[in-house]
Structure formats: structure tokens, C-alpha cells
Amino acid sequence: MYFNSIRFFLFWSLCCLYSCVYAQDGILEIPDSLKNKTYDYLYTMQGQNVEDTISSKMYLNACLYKATLTNDSKNKARALNELSYYVKSKEVKLDLIQKSLIESHSLDSTYSIAAYNNLGLYYLDYYDYDKALTEYLRVLRLSKKYKYKTYEVIATTNIAELKTNIGKHEEALELYKKCYEIEKNKNPIEDVAIVDVSLYLANSFRNNKKYDSASNYYHSVIDKIEKKYPYFLSIAKINEGANLFYKKEYKQAKILLEEGASLINTNSAFYLKYYIISQFYLGKIHQFSDNQRAIDHFLKVDSLLTKVDIVIPEVRDTYVSLLTEHTKNNSYEEQLHVINKLMKFDSIKNAIRISMGEKLNAEFDTPELLKSKEIVIQKLENKNQNLNLKFVLLLILFLIITGIIIIQFRRHRLYKLRFENLLNESNNTTKEVPKVDVEKTFQNLNIDPKTVSLILNKLQVFETKKRFLKNGITVTLLAKKLSTNTKYLSRIINIYKGKTFIHYINDLRIEYILDELKVNTTLQRYTILGIAKEASFNSAESFTTAFKKKTGITPSYYIKNLKKQKLVSEI
């Protein structure tokens, strides 16, 4: 009876697990011939059939089946993580990765590295650079801790790619060089790793305008790619095609770009980026001979960027070329449309940079775009012979811009004043214990004054010993600690602290972190989430809200100005 119950439980667990994994593609039946194979055999066969989706999923499915029957968390984690690569649904992919992390957490942390890296790639595919960077840094930290060189290279490469995406090309190149040296000095050398990092290195040399070096690294691995690693072929050809464009070898560049584009699976978020890049450079090449075909390629780039709502800094000139074409044809409506898209493109690009702590100058200055927009609106209104409407639009635009400038100026002054006040307040660390007003107590609380005084003294000890930093503190728990009831405690905090219990705790935590940030330069380098955790907040969002409510400024502004003040004092 007991044995039958176990078998039923295992069968039910497997059904639930498989229905989750294969909800998109149907359940894959596991051949009996695979059920008794070793993990080494199954993973080796999966690796040899990585381009064959059905075969790969069958081998991974067999691993998952075997691991579930034996409750092997290590291999369950691995199989779930690798199965996520074959899932099209965004939600299911994330669910599989998270299930893999749940399984790996009960093991040595090394088993979670692959899943954390996959989670970073997941966020990158959907252009959430902040979250991707968080996972890559986690992978880098764990790989160094456990001396896992393979994932140290992978994490460093991924971080270098993020730097490339925000225009830090020189820094990215140094990271790629470091990865290449690590791979080259491995014993034994892993062929596929050398191919991978060589392609990244070639692309980085192109971004740094070192085109001959880029071609050298491309040619050093292209034979291996064509013979052994065809899944790299589309990316390799597109990147070298773009490189040859800058070397002015347009004929060969066109061939490689078209060949690479023909191999791309545009249903993949990862590969779609390279397809868009191929269309951009084909458009640039056709500008020399067939302007209409060039425009067609640029329109395709715009259509794809709009459809998936992404930004690829490399293809920004798409909108500049379209703007030039519409200006030449005096197509004012189209000019205005493209200028708006260009402004949106730059605003998103800059938002990505700022969110990652990077402040880079935009290629097309915003004031210049606003000026161009104003001119186009003026021409459009002249064409329609509607001078009154033109005047109103220009006046509104002027007022909006002026209002924005005034608001930003006042906000800057207000933030600066609030920051200076915070510094002054943080220097005054003495806090007086509130005195009990007997009459006020009787009228507002109906509580014995001695009881009020006792509770206030206990609250002073609570604040002095920073017990407010304990996670999960509630009015019920604190009332119990202070040997009183929640009704008395809430009323006393409302009257004598002038706030609700939640705001009282949040303000204490914010006051604590303000002082800590002032003296702790290491804490200043934490992410907002990391600082939030130090102050016992559950999320960056709740911390930022409480911080701004208490201080009137954002945490990032406070930290940035603390650093500036330190630099000024050092000078």
C-alpha cells in the first residue's frame, strides 16, 4: 500500500511538471530506450543535437524524468534550466528558470549559476538592462567565489555586451580581451568557447573602429563555425558584413549581410536584433546606388523596432536617413513623424543609460530636435495657410518648453536645498525625549500619563538600539515587546510622533540610512535594492517611495551628491 502511494505521487508530480514544460508544444513521449540511460549519455546526446529542437527536448525530458523519479535536485535544476531555452512563451520560460533556481537552492550554490545566467539572458532579450546586469553580477560573484572559470568568462562577456549597448565600447573591448585570454590559456582549450568570444571580440573591434582587427578575428574562426558550429553562422556573417561596410568593401559586405539575414530566425528575440542590424547596413549600402531600396530597408528597420518596441543604438541613423529623405521631398508631415520617433528613440536610449548609472551624451542633441520640430511645424502650417493655428501651436510649444525649463530649474534648486538641509540635520544627532503633557494626554488619549511616559521611554530605547531595522516588525509585535496593547501604542505614536505606525517605522529606517550613506562609501556603491535591504525594506520601490516622502528627494540624487561633495572636499 505504501509503495503504491509513492508511485502514484511520483506519477502525479511528473504529469504536473511535464504539463508545465510542454504546455506550448505538447507532451513529448520518452522512449523506453532512454529511461535507463546515464545522465552523461543523455546530456552528451542533447549537446550533439542542440539544433534539433525535438531531439534536444526528448533527451532533456528523459533527464527530467530520471531526476524526478530519484529526487535528484541537481539534475532537475539543470534539465529545467536547459529546457527553458526551447520554450517560446515568455511566461513559461521565466517559470522554468525560476523552478530551476528553486531546485538548485537546496544544493551547493554552484548549481544555481547556470540558471542565474539564463535569467540574465532572459531579461536582456526583453531589454530590461537593470535586471540583466543584476543577474550577471550575481553570476560573476558566484563564479569567482567557486573558481568557475567558464561562467566567469560568460558573465564578463555578458556585462561587456551591456556596456556595448550603452556605448561604452572601449571598456567593453578590454573586457572581451580579458575573456579571450582566459579562454586561450585554458587547458584543454574549449573550441566552442574560443569561437564565441572571438566573435564578440571581432564585433567590439568594429565598434571601436579597428576594422582590420575585427576581420582578423572573424577569419580566425569562420572555418570552424561553418564545419562545427553552424548556429553561430548568421551572427558571424552579419557582424563581418557590417565591418566590411566600414572598410568600404560594399559588394562583399552586401553578400554577407544577405546570407546572414537569410539564416535568421526572426521569431527569436535574441536573433531579431541581428536581423534588424543586417537590414540597417543593407540600407546604408543601397544609399550609394539605389536610394529607394535603401529607404525600403530603413522602413523595415523602423517597422521592426516599432513592432517589438526596442532600441538598438547602432541603427539610430535609420531615422536620420529617413528625415533627410523627407526633408528633400518637402514632406512635412513625414518629417514631423520621424522627428518624434527620433526623439523617442533618444529618450529611451538615454533612460537605459541613466538607469544603469551611465550618463552619455546623445548623438542628436535634444534642443536641436526641438528646434527642428518647431521649424517643421511652421512650414506645415504655412502650407495649410492657417496662420492663427500656427501661432497657437508655436505659443503652446514655447510655453511647454519654458515651463519644463522652469520646473527643472526649480526642482534642481529645491533638491539641492533639501540635500543641504539633510546634511545639516544628519550632523545634529541628539534627539530630545518627548515630554508628557498631562492635559493633552487626558483629552486626546484617555490614557494614564504615567503609562504614556513609560511607553515613550521604551520607544526611545527602541529607537536608540535601532530595533526598527528588524524585518517583519508590526504594531502588534512592538506592542507585545513594550508590554502594552496595540490601541495604546498606536494612539501614543499618532499624538507624540505625529504619524501612523507604518510611517513612524519607515521614517526611522530612512533616518538611519541617511546617516549610514553619509559615512559609508562602500554602501554608496550598492544598488538601490541593496541599500533598501540594508534599511530593512522589502523592495527598491517601497524604499524609494519612503525615502522621497521623508526627504523630498530620491535616493539616487542623495547618493550622487554625497559623492560629488566628497570629491570637492578631496580637491
What type of residue sits at position 48?
Answer: Q
| % of the chain at pLDDT higher than 90 | 22
Check whether 359 has a pLDDT greater than 50.
no
**Under 8 Å between Cβ of 129 and 94:** no
Minimum mean pLDDT among 101-115, 420-434, 549-563: which range? 420-434
**Under 8 Å between Cβ of 232 and 225:** yes
Amino acid 383: pLDDT: 65
Q: How far apart are CA 165 and CA 177, in angstroms?
A: 17
Check whether 15 has a pLDDT greater than 50.
no
Q: Kindly report, residue by residue over 151-168, the tens digit of the pLDDT.
A: 888 888 888 888 887 778
Amino acid 250: pLDDT: 93
Report, as an integer, the average pLDDT of 394-421: 69
For the record, the C-alpha cell of 12 comes out as 502525479
Amino acid 278: pLDDT: 92
Report, as an integer, the average pLDDT of 349-364: 44
Q: Is 265 exposed, middle or buried (0-12, 13-18, 19+ CB in 10 A)?
A: exposed
Check whether 364 has a pLDDT greater than 60.
no
Amino acid 414: pLDDT: 66
Minimum mean pLDDT among 250-259, 265-274, 545-554: which range? 265-274
**Under 8 Å between Cβ of 497 and 540:** no
Q: Kindly report, residue by residue over 178-199, the tens digit of the pLDDT.
A: 888 888 888 888 888 889 889 9
In degrees, rounded to 5, the angle at the alpha carbon of residue 351 between the alpha carbons of residues 345 and 357 is: 140
Report, as an integer, the average pLDDT of 114-141: 83
Please state, rounded to an integer, the average pLDDT across all residues of the chain. Answer: 79
- Domain ranges (residues) in the chain: 1-107, 316-385, 438-570
| % of the chain at pLDDT higher than 70 | 77
Q: DSSP of 492-556, one letter per residue?
A: HIIIIISS-HHHHHHHHHHHHHHHHHHH-HHHHTS-HHHHHHHTT-S-HHHHHHHHHHHHSS-HH
Amino acid 86: pLDDT: 82
Q: Kindly report, residue by residue over 81-94, the tens digit of the pLDDT.
A: 888 888 878 888 88
Q: Would you place residue 219 in the very low, low, confident or very high pLDDT band (cuts 50, 70, 90)?
A: very high
Q: List C-alpha distances in Å: 473 to 147, 482, 547.
A: 39, 13, 18
Check whether 252 has a pLDDT greater than 90.
yes
Q: List C-alpha distances in Å: 526 to 48, 138, 194, 462.
A: 42, 13, 33, 27
What type of residue sits at position 235?
Answer: I
Q: How far apart are CA 254 and CA 260, in angstroms?
A: 10
pTM for the complete prediction? 0.52
Domain 438-570: give its CATH superfamily: Homeodomain-like (1.10.10.60)
Amino acid 144: pLDDT: 83
Q: How far apart are CA 415 and CA 398, in angstroms?
A: 25
In degrees, rounded to 5, the angle at the alpha carbon of residue 391 between the alpha carbons of residues 387 and 396 is: 150
Check whether 126 has a pLDDT greater than 60.
yes
Amino acid 393: pLDDT: 63
Q: How far apart are CA 12 and CA 453, in angstroms?
A: 61
Amino acid 439: pLDDT: 54
